[in-house]
Amino acid sequence: MQAPIELISAATIAARVAELGKQIDQQLPPGPVTVVGVLRGAFVFMADLVRVIPRTMTCDFLGVRSYGDATVSSGVVEITSDLGTSITDRHVLLVEDIADTGLTLKYLMDVLTARGPASLHTCALLSKPSRRAIAVTVDFVGFEIPDEFVVGYGLDAGQLYRNLPYIGVPKL
């Protein structure tokens, strides 16, 4: 298997994640936070992000399937595993690996909003603004990238490459 071509290095990611943590801590309302990670893509990013947010927090996860193993969004989002805790009256930070068409994020925001959180903010490591199919607010974005399929740092192609420490473009 050939190594993907590096687009964003591990050091650049680490520096940006530290900045995001500070911004999030400054901008979220005071008080404890529930950080909700979207599985599986966000698990690496979230592990680094929560360690640079100096707040009282709980962590929970939503299992989601949006693409199957295809690389094109079907627009159909399926919750494969729900939160283990209530988010009613909690300040919630939803953490995604990437906002591509925005359909997944929009769907999950609607689902979480219906549960009555005290506040809901969204954070995505990556965003492809040129791919957006629906208007969705991403409060904190790590990097805006062009319309290229990327892997690594949690992101997969056919479930592979999630363990890559950098973000890269797989060679065909």
Name the 3-class secondary structure at 69: coil
Contact flag: residue 98 with ligand IMP (CB under 6 A): yes
> Which residue of 37, 104, 120, 123 would you call a contact of ligand IMP, by CB under 6 A?
104
By CB under 6 A, the residues from 22 to 61 that bind ligand IMP are: 41
What are the residue ranges of helices labelled H in 64-130? Answer: 103-113
> Which residue of 103, 109, 112, 120 would you call a contact of ligand IMP, by CB under 6 A?
103
Stretch that binds Mg ion, among 25-33, 41-49, 77-85, 130-138 (CB under 5 A): 41-49
**Which tokens is 148 given?**
């290229």
Q: Which of 100, 110, 139, 147 is catalytic?
A: 100
Per-residue CA distances from 12 to 44, 57, 167 (Å): 15, 26, 10
Q: Is 147 one of the annotated active-site residues of the chain?
A: no
By beta-carbon proximity to Mg ion, the closer residue of 41 and 170 is: 41
Q: How far apart are CA 91 and CA 31, in angstroms?
A: 8
Q: How far apart are CA 164 and CA 160, in angstroms?
A: 9
Q: Where along the sequence are the contacts to ligand IMP (CB under 6 A)?
A: 41, 66-67, 73, 96-105, 149-151, 155
